[in-house]
Structure 1
Amino acid sequence: MVVEKIDTFGGHREPIYALEGSASTDRFFSTGGDGKVVRWRLDRPDLGELIATVPASVYALALNPTSGLLWVGQNYEGIHVIDPVEKKEVASLKLTSSAIFDVKFYKNDAFIALSDGVVAVVDTDQLVNRKHLKASEQSARSIAINPVEREFAVGYSDNVVRIFDLTTHTLKKVIPAHANSVFTIAYSPDFRYLLTAGRDAHLKIWDVEKGYTLHSDIVAHMFAINHLAFSPDNRLLATASMDKSIKIWDAETYQLLKVVDRARHAGHGTSVNKLLWVDSQQLLSGSDDRTISVWKLS
């Protein structure tokens, strides 16, 4: 595998914590510590377009595939719903005084992970809070949805992953998953496995069909793993770490294929916080160094 950096997007004044795709494949959104939500064109890194500004950092950014509206999780305030075409706020929800770490959509529900340990279930049409799921005293950090098993998984800062029923929202299983905070989780594309990672730098793979038994435990990075993401063609897995590197893995065997770092690829100089696959050959990465890199894989 050959990896080359083909572009760098700069303009944010603080670390970048969130990247999100757009309805158009040649555009994407970014946000972070400066509270600015920017839309970029892949072919014009000099032309960032300011979509919205909120007065606190943003860790969670999610495009609702049904409405085409952008949900911005403002720390200590709540949710701002932005029309990216009109570049204006169309609704807001004062949900919490906690930090918002993740937003995931399923049908008419938004599942929102909060730093007070609550997962809020919000009706996306009415923008009302349907339910508070409080299963921990520590932060809910990451959410993954499994429509096949009708479950969703949540990774927490108490080192635990909890599995909930997608319809009734009842707690089904508690997995003592890691030695430290769980920062990122995702189901494999075929929903047979749940992948979890976090501060202990381990990537763990759990067999869903065998009751979430541990399938593999990989010492994947030197420091915390901030994010993991599968490529659109389901062949590759990318992990991003506080150790400043990105690693590319075979998504079926979980064998390491490539290390992308500063020394070999002019990579990021600080923590890599977020990944976004544009397509199966292009990967974006956002960092504490306030830049977004575009990587071409071949």
Structure 2
Amino acid sequence: MGVLLRSTDVFQGHRASVYALCKAGEGAFLSAGGDGVVVRWELNRPEEGRAVAMVGEPVYSMALDAHRQALLIGCGSGRLLVIDLGSGVEAQVEHVHQKGIFRIVPLRNGLLACAGGDGVLSVWQWAGEGMARLVQQRSIALCAEKLRDITLLNEGRLAVACGDGMVRILDTGSFNGMVEADGHPGGAYGVCMHPTKPVLLTGGKDGVLKAWREDGSPLHAVPAHKGSVYVVSVDPHGRFLYTAGRDALVKVWDLATLDPVARSQRDRSGHTHSVNAAIWCGEQLITASDDRRIRSWSMPSMR
């Protein structure tokens, strides 16, 4: 993996680890973490972050509902907050999880799912128009460990990366379990769907990147990071897979072969501590870290 990623900008201002990122319209994104502050950033103005919410506790996850102008926030205590972005007011607070909410993912038909640190998957439905309220539909105990990631699959199915090492696939109609893949010793932390093939891609505490058929049978395994893999996701063009983890590195892989393409360095040109989250914002990869910094990355080899 000889090609090095180049960090184009650094977004600084958080006073603790940054755990969560989400897109916030064209050329903008939100960040949050251990300091409990949600900050809006413009890609072309990295020095001008603007606080849009003060949560008062660590934030582990976020999701933006652009239609309702609602920001959903998963907190370290297990609280689920709904912020009206028009007014900045806390419109709803639900405390359904006993531990932190690690992922919030919109599903179909106004549903959304939350991955809880208590091993519970909670399912919610928007009720009403405008700034509607969330109504809990289901609470499904999947394991005794943390649920770390969720991704929506084809044909109304959902894959959940679980702290007991399993990757579980559920039907989103009944939320019954369909498939279990014994994914990663010590815990499965990241999961995504291949954009054109019936293949799951996962990472976990073992530092291995794995590919699976949707029936749970293994296809491929690649040693990826020296430590836990927290992020597994595909770029918007469906050409490359990116991973990030506890070793402070961001790595890029050829999606067709899972061959390594590029990587960051663990020095001043990259992150120096665990990389916890990553998103694509336009053509820029955005990453967030325990080093309290957010970085954007240029990937000339992808053009």
TM over 0.5: yes
Give the deviation of 1:242 after TM superposition: 0.7
Q: Distance in 1 between matches of 2:171 and 2:78?
A: 28
The question of whether the paired residues in 2 share the 8 Å contact of 1:75 and 1:97 is answered with no
Counterpart residue type for residue 131 of structure 1: R
Give the deviation of 1:66 after TM superposition: 3.9
Is structure 2 residue 198 aligned with structure 1 residue 192?
A: yes
CA change 1:9–1:204 in 2 (3 A) is same
Question: How do 1:179-258 and structure 2 match up within 5 A?
Answer: 179-190=185-196, 192-208=198-214, 211-258=215-262
For structure 1, which runs of at least 5 residues remain unmatched after alignment?
none
Alignment partner of 1:138 out of 138, 145, 149: 145
SS at match of 1:127: strand
The question of whether the paired residues in 2 share the 8 Å contact of 1:51 and 1:88 is answered with no
Q: Distance in 2 between matches of 1:145 and 1:7?
A: 31
Q: Provide Cα deviations, 1:30-52, integer angstroms capped at 9, x if missing partner.
A: 00111111000111112111111
Q: Distance in 2 between matches of 1:2 and 1:116?
A: 38
Q: Provide Cα deviations, 1:155-179, integer angstroms capped at 9, x if missing partner.
A: 1111111111111111112211111
For residue 47 of structure 1, what is the aligned residue in structure 2? 48
Identity of aligned residues (%): 31
Give the deviation of 1:181 after TM superposition: 1.0
Q: Provide Cα deviations, 1:267-291, integer angstroms capped at 9, x if missing partner.
A: 1111111111112x31111000000
Question: How do 1:54-203 and structure 2 match up within 5 A?
Answer: 54-107=55-108, 108-125=110-127, 126-146=133-153, 148-190=154-196, 192-203=198-209
Counterpart residue type for residue 275 of structure 2: V
Give the deviation of 1:25 after TM superposition: 1.8
Normalising by structure 2, what TM-score?
Answer: 0.92
Counterpart residue type for residue 93 of structure 2: S
Give the deviation of 1:58 after TM superposition: 1.0
Q: Distance in 2 between matches of 1:77 and 1:5?
A: 33
Q: Provide Cα deviations, 1:75-98, integer angstroms capped at 9, x if missing partner.
A: 224111113343332222222232
Q: Distance in 2 between matches of 1:287 and 1:158?
A: 24
Give the deviation of 1:68 after TM superposition: 3.4
For structure 2, which runs of at least 5 residues remain unmatched after alignment?
128-132
Q: Provide Cα deviations, 1:115-137, integer angstroms capped at 9, x if missing partner.
A: 11110001133411111111211
Count residues in correspondence: 292
Give the deviation of 1:6 after TM superposition: 1.2
Counterpart residue type for residue 79 of structure 2: G
Q: Distance in 1 between matches of 2:197 and 2:124?
A: 24
Counterpart residue type for residue 193 of structure 1: V
Normalising by structure 1, what TM-score?
Answer: 0.94
For residue 276 of structure 1, what is the aligned residue in structure 2? 279
Ranges of 4+ aligned residues in structure 1 off by more than 6 Å: none
For residue 12 of structure 2, what is the aligned residue in structure 1? 10
Counterpart residue type for residue 171 of structure 2: D
Q: Distance in 1 between matches of 2:63 and 2:134?
A: 15
Q: Distance in 2 between matches of 1:191 and 1:63?
A: 27
